[in-house]
């Protein structure tokens, strides 16, 4: 069961950033304790690792997955797999609390019926970043992306449909959620380098959950 945390902010009305992109400040705070427990349990089964890009570079952000499918990167390319290549076992199941959060956030933003089958877990240490990119390895782009921020603050870059489009920069705090889909589904997005700081629950790190319908 997803426990409600004391002193958490109530759910807010989504802020529309564009036609099909929405910002829900503090939406994940309602269940922050349950989320962090679930994440820790997932990472006990499928530990964080620094994946390699097809070009041979090592990603600065540490990653893992849960759900029926997990996103991986290596010299063979970007793709989804049913098995964790690090453990040679299936990815951990998507915890109900995490799935519920993603489904409710999507529904608030007009994407009813979203049932993610993949959740990418990213750990950003101080100085790490994520360059502008599109989430385009999924088979069906009709489902939205739901991104949850936990831990230290970050500056999120939300670009357009072309890499050259000037991105909107917005600060994200612990518990914030961003949802994009529909005509915005393939927007470029990324995260600027994380500044040194501390959060009482995650230390110096930022944890990002990205929910997707991959299969």
Q: Residue 14 and residue 21: Cα distance in Å, rounded?
A: 9
pLDDT tier for residue 10 given thresholds of 50, 70 and 90: very low
Domain membership of residue 62 (yes or no) is: yes
Domain membership of residue 7 (yes or no) is: no
Q: Following CA atoms 148, 57, 168, 21 in sequence, which dihedral angle do they give, to the nearest 10 degrees? A: -40
Task: Please give the tally of structural domains in the chain.
Answer: 1
- 62-67/118-124 β-pairing: antiparallel
Q: Residue 10 and residue 92: Cα distance in Å, rounded?
A: 30
Lowest mean pLDDT among 5-19, 102-116, 135-149, 173-187: 5-19
CA atoms within 13 A on the CB side of 119: 31
Give Rg (Cα) of the chain: 16
- Residue span of the structural domain in which 158 resides: 15-212
Report pLDDT for 4: 55
Q: How far is CA 88 from its chain centroid?
A: 23
Question: Helices H, strands E: what count in the chain?
Answer: 2, 15
Domain membership of residue 111 (yes or no) is: yes
Domain membership of residue 6 (yes or no) is: no
Domain membership of residue 158 (yes or no) is: yes
Mean pLDDT of 99-106: 98
User: 25: closest CA among 143, 115, 105?
Assistant: 105
Report pLDDT for 13: 86
In the three-class reduction of DSSP (H, G, I as helix; E, B as strand; rest coil), residue 130 is classed as: strand
Per-residue exposure over 108-141, b if at least 16 CB sit within 10 Å of its own CB, e if not: bbebeebebbbbbbbbbeeebebebeebebbeee
Contacts of 141 (CB under 8 A, 6+ apart): 185, 186
pLDDT tier for residue 6 given thresholds of 50, 70 and 90: very low
Cβ atoms of residues 66 and 78 within 8 Å: no
Q: Residue 13 and residue 16: Cα distance in Å, rounded?
A: 9
Report pLDDT for 140: 86
Residue 9 has pLDDT above 50, yes or no: no
Residue 42 has pLDDT above 90, yes or no: yes
pTM of the model: 0.94
Domain membership of residue 8 (yes or no) is: no
Domain membership of residue 5 (yes or no) is: no
User: 12: closest CA among 147, 115, 108?
Assistant: 108
Give the DSSP H/E element, type plus range, for residue 50: none
Cβ atoms of residues 10 and 165 within 8 Å: no
Domain membership of residue 9 (yes or no) is: no
Quick one: DSSP state of residue 106?
A: H
CATH at 70: 2.60.120.590
Q: What whole-number percentage of the chain has pLDDT above 70? A: 94
Number of residues in the chain: 215
- The two tokens of residue 149 are 């921020």
């Amino acid at each position: 069961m997803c426990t409600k945390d004391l002193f958490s902010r109530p759910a807010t009305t989504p802020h529309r950033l564009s036609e099909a992109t929405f910002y829900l400040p503090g939406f994940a705070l309602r269940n922050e304790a349950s989320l962090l427990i679930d994440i820790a349990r997932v990472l006990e089964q499928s530990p964080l690792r620094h994946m390699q890009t097809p070009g041979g570079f090592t990603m600065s952000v540490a990653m893992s997955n849960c759900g029926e499918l997990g996103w991986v990167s290596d010299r063979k390319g970007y793709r989804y797999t049913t098995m964790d290549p690090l453990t040679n076992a299936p990815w951990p199941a998507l915890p109900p609390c995490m799935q519920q959060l993603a489904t409710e956030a999507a529904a608030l933003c007009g994407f009813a019926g979203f049932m993610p089958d993949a959740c990418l877990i990213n750990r950003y240490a101080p100085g790490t970043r994520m360059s502008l990119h599109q989430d385009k390895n999924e088979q069906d782009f009709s489902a939205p992306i739901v991104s949850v921020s936990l831990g230290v603050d970050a500056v999120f870059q939300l670009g357009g449909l072309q890499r050259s489009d000037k991105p909107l920069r917005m600060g994200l705090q612990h518990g914030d959620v961003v949802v994009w889909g529909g005509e915005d589904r393939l927007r470029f997005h990324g995260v600027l380098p994380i500044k040194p700081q501390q959060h009482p629950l995650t230390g110096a790190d930022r944890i990002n959950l990205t929910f997707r319908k991959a299969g």
